A and B are shown apart, each in its own frame.
Chain A
């Protein structure tokens, strides 16, 4: 094979490869049909993330959520009374490079029952470890209980 022919072969092979690659890039990735369908795992996670307490005062419940997150060293980013929504974040100290974000929503189920739902994210990954939510609700219960206890003391 003489040199010009070899060069042509290499160029055409390169063009072919580029063509194949660009064609491949054009095909859109197929979203799976059940991407948004509820799965059993989701139901399990939801039950981990939800807890109800016997409370009547919705505003006090939201303030209790804020107090518990402050106790855990979170920075409150947003807190809305009307939506019952609190968003907070903290750094994964002593590891200064990672961030944990949590969103808590408060819903009044009945006149004397309040439901709390928490979602936590580590960097960009949802936390599914039950221990995390157990610890959070323990801190929340403490904050709600403490604020209730401080009432009769006056």
Chain B
């Protein structure tokens, strides 16, 4: 049985390495110039986030969008009709079963030394812009972006306590979320949502 013990101890020694990698992630910086460069996934994201509607009524599209966001549980925080802009947020739990299972497995493998922080809470933001596509404004484009900020709970790496409240932020890239939104919007305005 001694060899099993040895393997478990070895794995236990390996666990702090990913923990250190996670911690050191806070120090690494992205070059700001890269963040302002047009990357190859720009057209892909635009296609996912944008639909075209054959209507001259930008105002109705905007208010219908606000209503759909409300249906989805968002609170509209900012609206500017002159530039066709809406911003809405909602806060929800971010707990996932998968993360708890992973946390347990890591805890067992590291022999109680590493307790991974799990996601607890999230804030989802939606920024929506309507704009006319031609001078006569008979066609309108709706572009919406969903983003989320996630807050983690506390954890433990060996002797080091990981305090709660660590956060990370990301753009939501699941096309289904966007499809659902546009399906609801086209139903609300009785218009077909054309892909661009």
**A residues adjacent to B (C-beta < 8 A):** 59, 62-63, 66-67, 70-73, 75-82, 90-100, 120, 122, 127, 129, 131-133, 135-136, 138-139, 142, 147, 150-151, 153-154
Contact = CB atoms under 8 A, between A and B. Distances in A.
Contacts of A96: 167-170
A132 B29 contact: no
B35 A72 contact: yes
23 contacts: A59-B82, A63-B83, A63-B84, A70-B49, A70-B129, A70-B143, A71-B42, A73-B42, A73-B45, A75-B87, A80-B83, A81-B83, A82-B82, A96-B169, A99-B169, A120-B36, A122-B29, A132-B32, A132-B36, A135-B38, A147-B133, A151-B135, A154-B134
Contact of A95 (B28, B46, B127): B28
Interface residues of B, number: 40
A72 B36 contact: yes
A91 B145 CA distance: 13
Contacts of A66: 83, 85, 129, 131
A131 B33 CA distance: 6
A76 B84 contact: no
B171 to A, nearest CB: 6
B159 interface: no
Given A59-B82, A67-B129, A76-B85, A95 B29 contact: yes
Q: Is the interface of A mostly helix, strand, loop or mixed?
A: mixed
B136 interface: yes
Contact of B82 (A81, A95, A97, A99): A81
B170 A91 contact: yes
